[in-house]
Structure 1
Amino acid sequence: MNLQDYFKKSVWESFAGSQGLTSDFVVTVIISMVLSVVLGILIYKVYGHYFGGVVFSNSFAVTLVGMTVLTSMLTLAISSNVIISLGMVGALSIVRYRTAIKDPMDLLYLFWAISEGITIGAGLYVLAVITFFVMMIVIHIFYNKKKRGAIYILVAHYDSETAGDQIIRSLGKMKHQLKSKTIRNNVTELTMEVLCRSNNTLFLENMKAIEGVRDVTLIQYNGEYHG
């Protein structure tokens, strides 16, 4: 080994020692980052496949990948250095997130991505992979259950005494529940919760054809009203 190689090696060893870099730590970082990216992309794919909304937010889906990778990086940094861990606790304690989560399922995906990142950063790779498949199975089961029918709010206005009974009979075997019935002067407002097994809304045409029915409105219902 000549003098130049000695100085190069000494500089690298000094830098690596000051940064806490060892061969084992470098291998751990590489494995963690690769696995974080892979599981993050898979969570992204699961979110896109089982997305039940109207407008798909690609930016939110990409956030799931970033959350997995960044959380894994933070966990690795905290576990390798006590000073960094104290600094992270102080920095994260003052962070405030103002973005509103409209769908509770979005919150589930965010927590899923963060949990995978923490687990990978802690070196529990098998647990991270098993958790991913367990969550995917759970989402698949409950997603299919949800797809067996959609809940709607049916609002009908009529001014005939017999129209209300005919509206209920026109639902046939569809599951329904009376929510409210309001009478204003000669006009009655009937509100019902209806379970539709398919996208076929022909029953609305039958209701509108009933004598005395002024209008019929069908509103999707997922825990809150969507107009």
Structure 2
Amino acid sequence: MNKDYKNIKVIGFDADDTLWVNETYFRDAELEFAKLLSSYETVNKIDQELFKMEMKNLPLYGYGVKGFVLSMVEMALELSNNNVSNATINAILNIGKDMLNKPVELLDGVEETLKALSQNYRLILVTKGDLLDQERKLEKSGLIDYFHHIEVLSDKQEANYSKLLNHLDIMPSEFLMVGNSLKSDILPLVNIKAKAIHVPFHTTWLHEQVHDDETKDKTYKTVNSLLDIVQVLN
């Protein structure tokens, strides 16, 4: 076993864009929304203003599709000076419903990796967002039996992880987190003395992006695919 991970007993996995596709659907929805409101503003401006609205509403609505839809509705009202049509509001709601009804598309090597690691480690799922939506996606994924514990957090900061590990009686030195977001899945774990492996996804939400100086002197490993993790741990 790799000496850097010899003490690991529990491995946590992020869900969205680590196990299955997620962010791509948000990018598609943003484009569709911008087209709906294109008579009021440019696509680029609408995209910028929608992000600002999401950030303003994040403390109130939290993460997930439902909060995103509410932000789109509010943005539509603001851009149109409250003149947006009922048909457009209905179209926005349908964008959200379509997102919630998307099939779960597993990323390459997910089930193979979980099956291999579950032989030697306790696996837990640690995600954030809307509880109902995440439970629905997990059920659709067919992966639920690989996990000893499922946790849907309101946020993924150091305090959230520390509280979870304490609740599950897991020492940080015995925990490894795997995820696509440096901000949410990697740096908080490094800061509480746990291990972390970064598996980048091809697109990252602006809110989840970090500057180079935030990763300076932080120890974590980056791999190209989940399949690489099995080899790293051996």
Shared fold (TM-score greater than 0.5)? no
What TM-score comes out, normalization by structure 1 length? 0.24
* Structure with the larger helix share: 1
**Bigger relative contact order, structure 1 or 2 (CA pairs below 8 A, ≥6 apart):** 2
* Structure with the larger strand share: 1
What TM-score comes out, normalization by structure 2 length? 0.24
